[in-house]
Amino acid sequence: MPSASNSALVALAQRIEGCRACPRLVTWREEVAATKRASFAGEQYWGRPVPGFGDPGARLVVVGLAPAAHGANRTGRVFTGDRSGDWLYGALFRAGYANQPNSRSRDDGLELRDAYVTAAVRCAPPANKPTVDERDTCVPFLAEELGLLGDAAVIVVLGQFAFGVVAALEGLRPRPRFAHLAEHPLADGRVLLCSYHPSQQNTFTGTLTEAMFDAVFARSRAITGA
């Protein structure tokens, strides 16, 4: 499949950013953007759905859960401005997929090379828990995005929520097991590669270590042969 054109991904991003389909999520993301966290009181929050970010010709696609309330919901770029993003972009940098190891704002100069980062749900959900209806309403955006990213050979899912969404999209029945570094072939020739989510709950407890996370992207390199 050919790689996505920038114009196709830009058009998709514009539709994502304008979405108001889920009333609970709209209310929450805008309330957070208005009240803000004290440490970010002087910043203008994004407060909208967050599109994917990266290289249109990427062979690696990373799928997370949803924007963090004071991370991507603040900065407007997926996995940007929070500790999970620090872990993700740090690992991508070490694996040669990013030009710098951190992500602070949309204009911080971060570039992804052969990688694209996105999420199953595009609005920050209360308690990081989208409802089933919210998930299902948002999934078509991811389906379209994965269709546009035709050069992708590996889809890394961060956590069981993203795993369930992508497994359903790919028609995996019965659903295969989720485990860190578990991999499953897809009908279109891609490989679904599992990782624990770099949430503080996992990184602070040692459930996910830096070495374990690096192994995911080393495996991605091995699969794509580059």
Each residue of 68-97: b (16+ CB within 10 Å) or e?
Answer: bbbbbbbbbbbbbbbebbbbbbbbbbebeb
- For the segment 8-33, the average pLDDT, to the nearest whole number, is 98
Per-residue DSSP letters for 37-94? -GGGTTS----S----EE-TT-SEEEEES---TTTHHHHSSTT-SSHHHHHHHHHHHH
Assess whether pLDDT exceeds 80 at residue 29.
yes
Would you call the peptide bond into 174 cis, given omega within 30 degrees of 0 as the criterion? Answer: yes
- Which residue, among 46, 37, 51, 49, has the nearest Cα to 8 in the 3D structure? 51
pTM of the model: 0.96
List of domains in the chain? 6-224 (3.40.470.10)
Task: State the pLDDT confidence band at 2, using cuts at 50, 70 and 90.
Answer: very low
Mean pLDDT of the chain: 96
Mean pLDDT, rounded, for 152-167: 98
Give bridge partners of residue 112 from the DSSP assignment: 98
* pLDDT 10s digits, 83-133: 999 999 999 999 999 999 999 999 999 999 999 999 999 999 999 999 999
Identify the pLDDT of residue 55: 97
Q: What is the pLDDT of residue 5?
A: 67
Separation CA 46–CA 70 (nearest Å)? 10
Report which secondary-structure segment, H or E, holds 119. strand 115-119
